[in-house]
Chains A and B, each alone.
Chain A
């Protein structure tokens, strides 16, 4: 006699995602920096921002530095960043 057993995994969450859009050029565009402020990446991030500023000369820069290194930033803060920028650089140190 056979035994039937049931998978414990569950189904993936179905999420509607916006189609990605491309920028014609990032030089002179408005940039957002999203950073989790992990200690291991502080020096790197400072250098990265300087390099981007030098090479791509953004017309504006907005920073969303998370106060909780691991938790997602508040949605309102992300929405604000999206409304103010053309693209964002997201950095997660760990």
Chain B
């Protein structure tokens, strides 16, 4: 196979790991040294040419190809069958509305959150139960990790220069979660965007770290559950005071509570849009984007009316809603990942294209 990446030769495995650090090919965590055999297995699985171009990754503006996506995926620990998810995530982030250059360089603490839904979740073996955002699952961890390494190595998103995120968050190492269709009382999250239920879809949104919400779903009626979630959304420190997008991951207990009350996915969104507001007298303490910006809240409510309510969810499409996690206790834990407000990182969905295999 004709690979064009620069080749380095070292004496043994330990030196290979150290070389990856010395070359700044990793962001602090160790990586698997990418050898020819491992890279070729990925590319052979994909059935594509190594030089096939996926796009240009800002801010370094280096070219992402099948070859260097394979290299980074090997470094992240991906099995070959994980890499179509990685490619779909990168392609989604390169759509203009995602504003990847801004996401990579902003002072805000957002990172691309990769959400997976559809039958591929089971096929590949994502963890959708206890700890679905975190530890314990190779697919979730290594796909999220591969995306980060591509943003790091091909995109050059190094902290300080040029990545200005003030604090970052642990999801900068790996940030991936999959929907649990078994406990989801509604259609898969991607169906509301026009995809077929049988599609496997990657959704990317620039998002803060998950904020835990104790919804009380095991003990309280749906109206209280919605009230608590809405309160978690409408906080003054959130960039969503200027609109933009967010990801709400309902634990199965919370989702069941709402569905048992007769609420569909659209109903939940509508109620959260209605409830997730703050009065002008409070919001005006928050220094937001320029008032000349069309998304500034003063363009949609009267800034002189102290009791007018400023919505944190401007439209149903601004809320990515999925079901994932363990059943847990009656506390009904869920999680909110606020977005980057009016500045970009907007949700983009992409169907995962698996290689066609002859029978």
Contacts and interface: CB of A to CB of B under 8 A. Distances in A.
Interface of A: 2-13, 15, 37-39, 42, 65, 67-72, 94
Contacts of B33: 3, 5
B61 interface: yes
A25 to B, nearest CB: 32
A12 to B, nearest CB: 5
A69 B34 contact: no
Contacts of A70: 99, 101-102, 106, 343-344
A68 B99 contact: yes
Given A7-B6, A8-B153, 6 more contacts: A7-B71, A10-B68, A12-B60, A12-B61, A37-B290, A69-B342
Given A3-B12, A4-B35, A71-B102, A9 B61 contact: no
Contact of A13 (B6, B11, B63, B99): B63
A11 B63 contact: yes
A9 B16 CA distance: 16
B8 A4 contact: yes
Interface in B255-301: 287-290, 292-294
Contacts of B9: 2-5
Contact of A38 (B5, B8, B290, B294): B290
Given A10-B68, A37-B293, A5 B63 contact: no
B183 interface: no
A3 B13 contact: yes
Interface of B: 3, 5-13, 15-16, 19-20, 23, 25, 33-36, 39, 56-57, 60-65, 68, 71-72, 75, 96, 99, 101-102, 106-107, 149, 153-154, 164, 287-290, 292-294, 342-344
A7 B8 contact: yes
A15 B23 CA distance: 26
B344 A8 contact: no
Given A67-B293, A70-B344, A7 B16 contact: no
A46 B64 CA distance: 40
Nearest to B105: A70
Contact of B68 (A3, A9, A15): A9
Nearest to A37: B290
Contact of A5 (B16, B68, B164, B288): B16
A38 B242 CA distance: 13
16 contacts: A3-B12, A3-B35, A4-B9, A5-B7, A6-B7, A6-B8, A6-B71, A8-B5, A8-B149, A9-B25, A9-B153, A13-B56, A37-B289, A67-B293, A70-B343, A72-B101
A86 B63 CA distance: 33
Contact of A69 (B15, B35, B289): B289
Contact of A4 (B7, B12, B294): B7
Contacts of B294: 67
A7 B12 contact: no
Nearest to A66: B293
A39 B290 contact: yes
Contacts of A3: 9-13, 15-16, 33, 35
A68 B8 CA distance: 43
A46 B343 CA distance: 22
A10 B65 contact: yes
Nearest to B32: A5
A5 B343 contact: no
A37 B292 CA distance: 8
Contact of A65 (B6, B12, B292): B292
A84 B174 CA distance: 46
A11 to B, nearest CB: 5
